[in-house]
Structure 1
Amino acid sequence: MVAKSAILAISGAITIFFWIILIPALATAPPTHIDIVIIGGGTTGLALANRLSEVPNLTIAVIEAGNDEGSNPNVTSVAGFGGGLGFNTHIDWLYETAEQTGAAGRRLQYHQGRAWGGTSVLNGMTYIRPQATQINAWSTSLQNPGWDWESLWPYYLKSESFTPPTPAQITSGGASYNSAYHGRNGPVNKYGLLNGTFASLVNDTWQALGVPFNADPNGGELRGFFVWSQTVEVQQNVREDACRAYLYPVRGRGNLFMLRGRVDRILWAGKEEEAVRTERKIVAEGVQYTDPETGSIKTLFADKEVILSAGSVRSPAILELSGVGNPEYYPQAPQHPHNKPPGVGENAFDQPNNFITYTTTNTSFTGLAPYVTYMTAQDLLGPEFPSIAARITSQIPAWARAAAAASNNAVSAESIEYLFRTQHFLLFNEDRNVGSTFFILLPFSRGSVHVSSADPGVYPVIDPRYLSVEWDAILQGKVAEVVQRFWNADPVRSIVGEQIQPSLEDVPTNATGEEWEGWIRRSFAPNHHLLGTAAMLPRELGGVVNPQLLVYGTDNVRVVDASVLPTQVSGHLTSILYAVAERAADLVKQRWGVS
């Protein structure tokens, strides 16, 4: 991000907080049969566990590979950009991507949380809701009735407990808000930490460049510059992750159980042949998991549902190891469901993230400034906008054929072309859709996540195929040029010193588009917003789950995590995932006639 990059390069102060937390114990070991088994105790899994355990006669078990890290200073600290302190520690799965041709052949570290709270213990604590028109496209163009901005709106409010910025933060720090856009009684604490006058300097510069101030983007209109809210527990000044928000307050419930284990596969009731003959959907009867302490394999039976909330990497892998998906990717998996959605693990895409950094003449900065600027395609491309939009339209069929070939045609070129044309509309035919700090938010490039072994202990192969569509690299380069232009514009350039990254050797003054692209490919990192690997789409478009989030061909297996999101979105995943989990909990309750 623009301001983040600059300040991060010049500020190294880290504060570590210590305190003691007294929390009631969870219920004792569960029985062998549970009503609902949730695979994964992360952002969505714990939100589900909280809401479903509100029903006293439902029993809920969450199986999570990590531990309770509520007193780990790498989790609780709000210093720096939050979760970076936990990277490469025991709370990080420490994944690595496949070699990325679009990243100059590099293999990239891929951080995902391994703890109660999942990746919410590692993220940057950012909370920005997506653009409303992007969510509406899920319901209209992508044929998911009930999944639009209006339907999700009450769940945004239900999940949130918003603390308004202080008068000082408003008058001198640039913070602002619209009270109607925020909930006050939800589990997730949100607060703006910012103090200081730097925001006015940044705001004035963007306005001089034609980008307006946005008082509060959380109503579904993102274009402009603003100070974002962060997920922080205000009283203790600690990270507000999913564990602290959704699990700790309800640990005394006798119908909620937390188990430690790595889920290996879903177990199916009956025989595949019988399901085919009777045209019934196959039924999950439980899960098999490995105890990390003893290495023993255990079984937990689910009398009602199994819900996958293991994230965009693990959820498709568990489906494949359970025999759901393209048979090419689940060697020796037992008892496959007869109705195999081939899109499992496909449609994987993330956002490439670059940084431009400078020294500064201002010695008063003490930390990270949570600023962001969202720009439209018209803002970014200017007079080139019409010609580029037309050129992208003409190239979509070729991009779709290449993406289909990369998936061994698990998803057809025609289906991918339809998805690309939907994305083209969001980029070029809506006024307020492209967001850009220093990563493009709506890339065309997409890849896959698949297992490579019948051994559940072998990590899945993560292959987002970053920048495999040339346009994504070109657009990232154009964003870089705008970022550089910003830091050299008045009034902000009054505090800017020498450019550190990229160096003038990497990208000289007045660099060409090719020079920018080369540096981008050599230097970008993942944004860790991987999604789409169990997409909520019609089957013919490569979908894995229906609008009830039930896996096609199954009667009682849902997926509730980032893997079901069918498109990338502006904003940040935290906000949309909490809302999706809240709505999914209501879908489960409706299915079983409880409330």
Structure 2
Amino acid sequence: MVGGSSGINAMAWVRSPSLELDAWSQLGIQGGWNWEDLLPYMMKVENVSLGDPTAYPGSTKPSGWDDNFYGRDGIIQVGYSRTFTGVHEPFVESILNLGEQLNEDQANGRNLGVANGAHAVDITTGNRSYALDYFTHNQGRTNLLVLTGATVTRILLSNTGSEVEATGLEYISNGETYIANASREVILSAGTAFSNIRLLELSGIGNKAILESLGIETVLDIPTVGENLQDHNSVTTTYLLKEPAPITLDALQNNPQFFQEQMLEYLVNKTGLLTTLPTYSYHALQTFFSPIEVAELVNTTKYEISQRNLSKFQELQAQLQLKWLEEGTVGQIELSPYADRKIMSFGVELARKIANTSPLVDLIESELNPGPNANNDEVRGRDCRGTAALAPKDLGGVVGDDLLVYGTSNLRVVDARFVESVCLLCGADAHISSF
């Protein structure tokens, strides 16, 4: 997908706290890898529209109000939800009643608290805004070519000098193999926590023992390539609402008239509940069931709410080289016996505490998922990253502060995989930092 994870990562636009970004310089990474130096670039990429000042109970300012921390001239359009379901206000009030604080300026380096989350969505059209927007602004340039439907198979490397030089790459397009020669640099942004690493290792950069076991000639022995695999673990808690239930997104499927009203609202004004839908893709029920079975399912559908409890960090990291290189698959990433499981359990406990606090508790009939006996490993989601860490080499880094792969003169890794360092940096959305 052109634009990569910036177009599919729930369109979340959550900036990392200053303490996390400053940890890079504390590790010894120089060259401006800290909050103060990165902030102007994070602002440069975005064009933030103001949110509704009445969106949250107790709020006095519109989200995105502070010009010291929000960009106004960037290509990526960033906005805030202006339409909310009937459970939004009771949900927020319950959190505040538990003692949490409202955060009306979550981009200032401290993003803890209750806030109206920003999304990379153009509020004038209701459409997502992501890295592809840079291409549309520059597609007329004579020195830019985007080749879709092609698969890179390896990087061509020369090991004749003191440093390894990337001379080009090999790729397959329409069943034919081609060579693209590099005049200056080769820059990797292959996406996910896996593709860049696979390319490096298939090209001979990685753990020598693993490469030799697979018959790959080692050009650069960097044992930490493919290590440090981390996951954004998550558990979703779902609750059945009492009847008559307030308006939720379920009304879009349960109430045809309401859906038509919302569709008209979106087509005319680019507002309404259809602009708040999650960015997951679902198959039509008719793909799997007969029309009669679908009708029975819809008729029994009730109104529910869900909370997603997401752990920013993972203590137990994984290596993926052998399975990924041999099979192109990655197995389950285990949670550590104590810290990771404890964090996930705390998330579920907090979700239940919110659900049992007034006024939200007055709307809930019962908990549907995960249930008291559910295993976190069975219900958690995945968001893998961190396999080409930006860190000093002696601490397990793969790239340095110039994003050059250690030991090379012109091979860089620039996508979000470098962001998660060996010290568990950047628990927020990494693609903001990669911009």
Please indicate, yes or no, whether the TM-score normalized by the shorter chain is above 0.5. Answer: yes
1:226 maps onto 2:80 in alignment = no
TM-aligned CA deviation for residue 266 of structure 1: 0.7
Structure 1: distance between partners of 2:56 and 2:343: 34
* Alignment match, 1:105: none
* Alignment match, 1:356: 237
* Alignment match, 2:155: 266
Deviations 1:152-173 (A, max 9, x none): 1011111001111246657899
The code of the aligned residue for 1:525 comes to: G
1:298 maps onto 2:178 in alignment = yes
CA RMSD of aligned residues (A): 2.6
TM-aligned CA deviation for residue 461 of structure 1: 4.1
Matching residue within 44, 63, 66 for 1:179: 66
| TM-score (normalised: structure 1) | 0.58
Structure 2: distance between partners of 1:500 and 1:368: 25
Q: How does 1:96-495 map to 2 (within 5 A)?
A: 115-141=1-27, 143-166=29-52, 169=55, 176-180=63-67, 181-196=69-84, 198-243=87-132, 245-260=133-148, 261-269=150-158, 272=159, 274-275=160-161, 280-291=162-173, 293=174, 295-311=175-191, 312-330=193-211, 331-334=214-217, 336-337=218-219, 339-361=220-242, 362-366=245-249, 438-450=309-321, 460-463=328-331, 465-495=333-363
- Alignment length (residue pairs): 371
TM-aligned CA deviation for residue 288 of structure 1: 0.4
Structure 1 213/178 Cα, relative in aligned 2: closer, same or farther at 3 Å?
Answer: same
* Alignment match, 2:260: none
User: Counting helix residues as a fraction of each chain, which structure ranks higher?
Assistant: 1
The code of the aligned residue for 1:468 comes to: S
Give the SS at the match of 1:448. coil
Structure 2: distance between partners of 1:148 and 1:461: 34
Give the SS at the match of 1:207. helix
Give the SS at the match of 1:288. strand
Structure 1 169/490 Cα, relative in aligned 2: closer, same or farther at 3 Å?
Answer: closer
TM-aligned CA deviation for residue 215 of structure 1: 0.6
Give the SS at the match of 2:205. coil
TM-aligned CA deviation for residue 491 of structure 1: 1.7
Deviations 1:417-467 (A, max 9, x none): xxxxxxxxxxxxxxxxxxx9612112201102325587xxx6534356330
Structure 1 173/248 Cα, relative in aligned 2: closer, same or farther at 3 Å?
Answer: farther
Deviations 1:338-396 (A, max 9, x none): x42211000110121110011223332235998xxxxxxxxxxxxxxxxxxxxxxxxxx
Structure 1: distance between partners of 2:323 and 2:104: 48
Contact 2:12 2:119 in 1 (8 A): yes
Unaligned residue ranges in structure 1 (runs of 5+): 1-114, 371-435, 508-514, 579-595
Structure 2: distance between partners of 1:523 and 1:323: 37
1:574 maps onto 2:428 in alignment = no
Deviations 1:118-171 (A, max 9, x none): 223322111110111011011103544521111110111110011112466578
The code of the aligned residue for 1:253 comes to: R
TM-aligned CA deviation for residue 307 of structure 1: 0.6
Structure 1 360/142 Cα, relative in aligned 2: closer, same or farther at 3 Å?
Answer: farther
| TM-score (normalised: structure 2) | 0.79
The code of the aligned residue for 1:542 comes to: G
Structure 1 256/329 Cα, relative in aligned 2: closer, same or farther at 3 Å?
Answer: same
The code of the aligned residue for 1:350 comes to: D
Structure 2: distance between partners of 1:246 and 1:263: 22
Give the SS at the match of 1:225. coil
Structure 2: distance between partners of 1:234 and 1:250: 23
* Alignment match, 1:557: 411
* Alignment match, 1:84: none
Structure 2: distance between partners of 1:150 and 1:283: 33
